[in-house]
């Protein structure tokens, strides 16, 4: 991993916050670059751990007689960006892996 350094003063005394990096020398703050690959829903919204997603089409579960119906909502999702089914969640009481093109993010009220 490359050592962080401030883009302004080039010092490497950097405080790491959740979404920001802060230079302890000159006080400059900038956004962290997210290393993980983004997972996007069918409409291009970026999904995050803990989001709720909703099916946008019926999808039969492979190997079962269960069908996930369009409009069905998940519990909070977990993302595995490197996986073939990068969204894991519970839906209708089942633990399932989903592809992002079958879901849309539910915008929290």
Q: Residues interacting with Zn ion, by CB under 5 A?
A: 6, 8-9, 23, 25-26, 28
Least separation in angstroms between residue 24's CB and Zn ion is 8
Q: Which of residues 9 and 46 has its CB atom nearest to Zn ion in the complex?
A: 9
Cα atoms in the 13 Å half-sphere on the side-chain side of 65 = 0
What distance lies between CA 17 and its chain's CA centroid?
19
d(CA 92, CA 53): 13
Q: Which of residues 9 and 20 has its CB atom nearest to Zn ion in the complex?
A: 9
Least separation in angstroms between residue 8's CB and Zn ion is 5
Q: Which of residues 23 and 89 has its CB atom nearest to Zn ion in the complex?
A: 23
Least separation in angstroms between residue 30's CB and Zn ion is 10
Per the CB < 8 A criterion, the answer to whether 100 and 59 are in contact is no
For residue 40 the two structure tokens come to 């996007």
Q: Which of residues 8 and 106 has its CB atom nearest to Zn ion in the complex?
A: 8
Least separation in angstroms between residue 99's CB and Zn ion is 42
d(CA 3, CA 10): 11
């Amino acid at each position: 991993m490359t050592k962080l350094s401030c883009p302004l003063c080039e010092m490497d005394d950097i405080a790491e916050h959740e979404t920001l990096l802060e230079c302890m020398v000159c006080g400059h703050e900038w956004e962290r670059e997210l290393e993980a690959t983004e997972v996007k829903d069918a409409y291009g919204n970026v999904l995050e751990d803990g989001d709720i997603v909703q099916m946008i089409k019926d999808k039969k579960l492979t190997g079962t007689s269960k069908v996930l119906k369009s409009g069905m909502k998940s519990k909070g999702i977990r993302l595995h960006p490197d996986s073939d089914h990068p969204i894991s969640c519970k839906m209708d009481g089942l633990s399932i892996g989903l592809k992002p093109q079958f879901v849309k993010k539910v915008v929290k009220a």
